[in-house]
Amino acid sequence: MSTPTSARTLGEEQLRVEDLSVNYGRIEAIRDVSFSVPAGGIATLIGANGAGKTTTLKTISGLRSVRAGRILFEGEDITRVPSHKLVQRGLCQAPEGRGTFPGMSVLENLDMGAYTRKDRRSAAYRADLDRVFGLFPRLAERRSQPAGTMSGGEQQMLAIGRALMSRPRVLLLDEPSMGLAPKLIQQIFAIVREINAQGTTVLLVEQNAAQALRTADVAYVLETGTVVRHGTGAELAADDSIRAAYLGGDV
Ligand code: ATP
């Protein structure tokens, strides 16, 4: 797998979150969160358990309603656009690892990922399937296997592959490394970089801050529902307070 970052150029912000606040009943999960994701880049949100990372991602992808603030995708306000419409418009979140359809085969799951497309069975569709199988050879080998019998790592790959079948211009990933063995974590991050090098902008939410900061062009730190720091991945990885709080001296 290539190490792609050098060939890329980052564009204007493709996704922008402005002063976003989200509640669960009376519980304020995130408050006045603002950040942006550059076109062609990888952005990451890092933070401890309960910081609001998943809530932020789910809200962007239309699965939670907003109390205040707005979300702009390629300049258009998508704050209240439902999830399936966002997928059609090119913004898609990979479900968390176990979000695959367990009784369906790998191929059927990938097919479900393309449900919003009108060109299924076309050459373009087959090319996208080949792209997913190129990124995840394991899925090609296991194409007839029921998703529910795949390992955690394989299901994580399938969840990402399924999202890619909708041809997103921006891919949202919620903790793709969660629960995986170290070797597989490295592999998943390499695949994320490869997906980005192939032209997909990525917003990555991670508890694995060390890997996330190594991978991301821009990074935001969430603490108890607000953004407390931001910078390039390299800047934050080199910052003593970030290292102490999130990296355990491990970058
Ligand atoms: P983790 O890394 O542990 O997944 P996170 O950063 O993704 O954490 P969120 O899952 O977004 O954090 O949670 C943010 C806050 O919102 C937490 O205080 C959490 O308890 C609360 N919360 C999340 N989901 C719900 C829910 N369905 N009902 C009530 N509170 C919720």
Task: Give yes or no for residue 3 having a pLDDT over 70.
Answer: no
User: Count of alpha carbons within 13 Å of 57, Cβ hemisphere only?
Assistant: 25
Residues 21-71 have pLDDT tens digits of 999 999 999 999 999 999 999 999 999 989 999 999 999 999 999 999 999
Task: Give yes or no for residue 209 having a pLDDT over 90.
Answer: yes
- Among protein residues, the one with the nearest Cα to ligand 1's atom 17 is 50
d(CA 145, CA 156): 15
Mean pLDDT of 185-197: 94
Asked if 220 contacts 230 with a C-beta cutoff of 8 angstroms, the reply is: yes
d(CA 97, CA 195): 18
d(CA 171, CA 85): 15
Q: Give the number of the atom of ligand 1 that is nearest the alpha carbon of residue 205.
A: 7
Q: Give the number of the atom of ligand 1 that is nearest the alpha carbon of residue 27.
A: 30
| CATH architecture assigned to 1-6+14-90+168-251 | 3-Layer(aba) Sandwich (3.40)
Per residue, what are the HEC states of 40-96? CCEEEEEECCCCCHHHHHHHHCCCCCCCEEEEEECCEECCCCCHHHHHHHCEEEECC
Scan for tokens 């603002």, then name that residue. Answer: 34
Predicted confidence band at 104 (pLDDT cuts at 50, 70, 90)?
very high
Asked if 91 contacts 14 with a C-beta cutoff of 8 angstroms, the reply is: no
What pLDDT, on a 0 to 100 scale, did the predictor assign at position 114?
A: 80
Mean pLDDT of 2-15: 70
d(CA 87, CA 114): 10
Residues 114-167 have pLDDT tens digits of 877 777 678 888 999 999 999 999 999 999 999 999 998 899 999 999 999 999
Give the pTM: 0.91
In the sheet that holds 226-232, the strands lie side by side as 91-94, 170-174, 201-206, 42-47, 218-223, 226-232
Asked if 161 contacts 139 with a C-beta cutoff of 8 angstroms, the reply is: yes
d(CA 201, CA 242): 25
Task: Give yes or no for residue 6 having a pLDDT over 50.
Answer: no
Mean pLDDT of 162-184: 92
**Residue 28 CA to ligand 1 centre (angstroms):** 10
Residues flanking ligand 1, CB < 6 Å: 24, 27, 29, 47, 49-55, 207
Would you kindly state where each structural domain of the chain is located, as residue ranges? Answer: 1-6+14-90+168-251, 100-167
**Residue 175 CA to ligand 1 centre (angstroms):** 14
Average pLDDT along the chain: 91
Pocket test for ligand 1, best of 20, 21, 24 (most atoms within 8 A of CB): 24
d(CA 87, CA 25): 27
- Look up residue 16 and give its two tokens: 């922008």
What pLDDT, on a 0 to 100 scale, did the predictor assign at position 135?
A: 94
